[in-house]
Structure 1
Amino acid sequence: MNLHEWRDRPSTVSFGPASWQSRALGVLTALTLRPVLGLLTVLGLLINRIWPAGLQRAHLDLIDRPLRLIRPLPGTVVTEQRLPHCPAEWVVAPAARGSDRVIIYFHGSALVTLGLNSHRRFASKLSEATAAQVLNVGYRLAPQASIDEAVEDGLDAYRHALALGFEPGRIVLAGDSAGGLIAADTALAVRDAGLTVPAGQVLLSALTSADMDLKYRALRDHKDVLFPFMTVKFIYDVFATVNGTREVPTMPAESNSAGLGPFLLQVGTNEMLRNDTFVLADQLAAAGVPVWVQVWDKAMHMFQLSFDVNPDARRAVAEIASFVAHVTSEASAAA
């Protein structure tokens, strides 16, 4: 794609019809993972009623340990890093070696789980597709840490990239699900700290609003094949707010994003965070921030991670690569 074509694109584009692989993944997820999440949520509600303090000490990120068996793409070099309060790693595909372009990536987590292992292969795919070095950030998770502390980790990652000599106009912040929240909030934190903002942001199936009604209304139109509504509400009520004792910071959809670089927002039709994306897009446009929304037919939450078997996911990654090339070239030209 010609880089200038992004300027002429409509603000919202629908992609479809869905591939049979994307549809099959949705059905398989609805039949397997969704019931398990529902059962775990009921169990969590019971434990929270009997022993809430014990639940707050749970380390749900333990599930990430066996996921180290998921390998990055062949030829990818992974180098461990240590930020002030959390682990991170450089994930560099052969096409990105020596690149001056960086993607700082925040993994999806529902705020409480997964980590570097779960998203290393996707990070390597992003590095391959964009020819950018990827800094994969293992930000702190709830219930032990607050959203503010996770954003502090994001700001530390950005400062780390700057300290290594990377230019702001060659850096893109990206994340999926709750990681999209951390990416957007990190961009705001960078601006508020008086630093030069990154070239742009890529948010995939991102959580951007604390309004549960937005999610409930989305479910009335299309069933989420991964998350029952009670699971998302449980995570918010029990872990994000610590049973109402911790105030959740202002979310990106309710913030003033003036001064930030462009956003690419990708979301599937079959997920409850769909309305979060649209509300954030409206807020960005009102603040004068360029924003493009891509809606993928029948796509489930974080469908991009299925790129190995799903042609829709590979096309979405190609769109991300085109956007990253556009915003980093535009920022460099402006500088």
Structure 2
Amino acid sequence: MTHHAAYQPYASASKRAHALGWLMAATVRPIATTCLRSPEGLLALRKGFRVLGSVLEHTPKSVSIRAVHQPDVRGEWVQAVPAKSAKSVVLYLHGGGYFFGAGSLHRQVTWRLSHALARPVLAIDYRLAPRHSFEAWRDDAVSAYQYLLKQGYRGADITVAGDSAGGHLTLVLLQTLRDRGISRPRAAICISPWTDLSADSLALKAHPRRDPFIPSARLGFISRFLTRNRSPFDALVSPVHGDFRGLPPLYVMVGSTEVLRDDARCMVARARAAGVDVAYEEWHRMPHVFPIMAAVLPEGRLAFRHMREFLARVEASALSLVA
């Protein structure tokens, strides 16, 4: 793992990580290569995720799940035992290339996040492509954030987190809140964020077999489909090209061999150049959004401890400024 000055939990990937990487390269990548060629293929993947719902939605019995059905907010509250009576909260934005996924399908992340950070998690279901686009996703994220403010949380009580496309939406949300003068969250966590949908994206130039999960060429197809008829350099489309000034502390984690690694490096460099406090970690040979595999990956479980340590540092720093 590379933190650009942090301790390394594993000098090399665990045996389970090696086995999982081989399995994904032999199964998931061929499926992605086949399906990520057309809108019809993307919709087929969406159906596949729904079939996996019974596995992905499983949580320990001690975890509380409560549906949210508000006019502008759909999703669920996820609360592990340590989160009871907490005064802070996490807003979680799921990944899935904006074509598939739901808050419930990311419970392997959200329940562990609630447990590790000792606070409830609001995982929203934003509208999806191809029917909806960037403005709708931004508006859904802003509505969820404002919903939390109306529930009595302050900006300083909120941590925003997201994976992949949800990491993209996390950055869009942070930049939008700042531009609209809405109180900023305490911090943000980006897991394998997808930040650049332009043809200049370093992810599209990655070796096609480097990532055992997402071929770079197929990522390019999704980017081109989502950005048709609009500038891919618009900050709403590619937040890496946006203004990072005034954003809260960021924690960014990626796998060292995943297709989005170099884009994450570019985003981190631009955020740091703008004066943002960024903790950046590259985990050795970890796949895309590896914390979602914490049930089988020891590195996935350790990742949540790192998230907890990051947020504890940020909150301790904020308290020291007040004292």
What is the TM-score normalised by the length of structure 2?
Answer: 0.90
Mapping for residues 241-280 of structure 1, pairs under 5 Å: 241=227, 244-248=228-232, 249-250=234-235, 251-280=238-267
1:74 lines up with 2:61 in the alignment: yes
Mapping for residues 115-130 of structure 1, pairs under 5 Å: 115-130=102-117
SS in 2 for 1:219: coil
1:175 lines up with 2:162 in the alignment: yes
Mapping for residues 90-101 of structure 1, pairs under 5 Å: 90-101=77-88
Structure 1, unaligned runs of 5 or more = 1-8, 49-54
Q: Distance in 1 between matches of 2:315 and 2:71?
A: 27
**Cα pair 1:207 1:276 within 8 Å, conserved:** yes
Q: Distance in 1 between matches of 2:261 and 2:297?
A: 20
Compare 140-149 and 79-88 and name the one that shifted more. Answer: 79-88
Instruction: Give CA deviations for 1:177-199 in whole Å, capped at 9, x if unaligned.
Output: 11100111111111111111001
Give the residue type in structure 1 aligned to 2:100: T
SS in 1 for 2:207: helix
Give the residue type in structure 2 aligned to 1:245: N
Deviation at 1:332, TM superposition (A): 5.0
Mapping for residues 300-311 of structure 1, pairs under 5 Å: 300-311=287-298
Instruction: Give CA deviations for 1:84-105 in whole Å, capped at 9, x if unaligned.
Output: 4452111000110121111111
Deviation at 1:319, TM superposition (A): 0.1
Q: How many residues align?
A: 313
Deviation at 1:66, TM superposition (A): 3.3
Match of 1:3? Answer: none
**Cα pair 1:12 1:293 within 8 Å, conserved:** no
| Structure 1 residues 217 and 64, CA gap change in structure 2 (3 angstroms) | closer
Q: Distance in 2 between matches of 1:40 and 1:64?
A: 13
| Structure 1 residues 328 and 89, CA gap change in structure 2 (3 angstroms) | farther
Deviation at 1:83, TM superposition (A): 4.3
Deviation at 1:65, TM superposition (A): 3.2
Correspondence for 1:37 among 23, 32, 35:
32
Give the residue type in structure 1 aligned to 2:17: S
- The CA RMSD over aligned residues, in Å, is 2.3
For CA contacts below 8 A with separation 6 or more, give which structure has more relative contact order: 1
Deviation at 1:286, TM superposition (A): 0.9
**Cα pair 1:15 1:297 within 8 Å, conserved:** no
Match of 1:65? Answer: 50
Q: Distance in 1 between matches of 2:105 and 2:279?
A: 27
Identity of aligned residues (%): 29
**Cα pair 1:34 1:226 within 8 Å, conserved:** yes
**Cα pair 1:79 1:91 within 8 Å, conserved:** yes
Match of 2:22? Answer: 27
1:155 lines up with 2:138 in the alignment: no
SS in 1 for 2:67: strand
Deviation at 1:328, TM superposition (A): 3.3
Give the residue type in structure 2 aligned to 1:41: L
**Cα pair 2:108 2:294 within 8 Å, conserved:** no
Correspondence for 1:143 among 111, 130, 150:
130
Instruction: Give CA deviations for 1:267-307 in whole Å, capped at 9, x if unaligned.
Output: 10111100111111111111101001101001010111111
| Structure 1 residues 10 and 37, CA gap change in structure 2 (3 angstroms) | closer
**Cα pair 1:58 1:143 within 8 Å, conserved:** no
Deviation at 1:114, TM superposition (A): 1.3
Compare 65-74 and 112-121 and name the one that shifted more. Answer: 65-74
SS in 1 for 2:262: helix
**Cα pair 1:12 1:295 within 8 Å, conserved:** no
Instruction: Give CA deviations for 1:150-188 in whole Å, capped at 9, x if unaligned.
Output: 111111111111111112112111011111001111111
Q: Distance in 2 between matches of 1:102 and 1:296?
A: 26
| Structure 1 residues 225 and 305, CA gap change in structure 2 (3 angstroms) | same
Deviation at 1:10, TM superposition (A): 4.9
Q: Distance in 2 between matches of 1:234 and 1:10?
A: 32
Give the residue type in structure 2 aligned to 1:255: G
**Cα pair 2:254 2:283 within 8 Å, conserved:** yes
Give the residue type in structure 1 aligned to 2:15: W
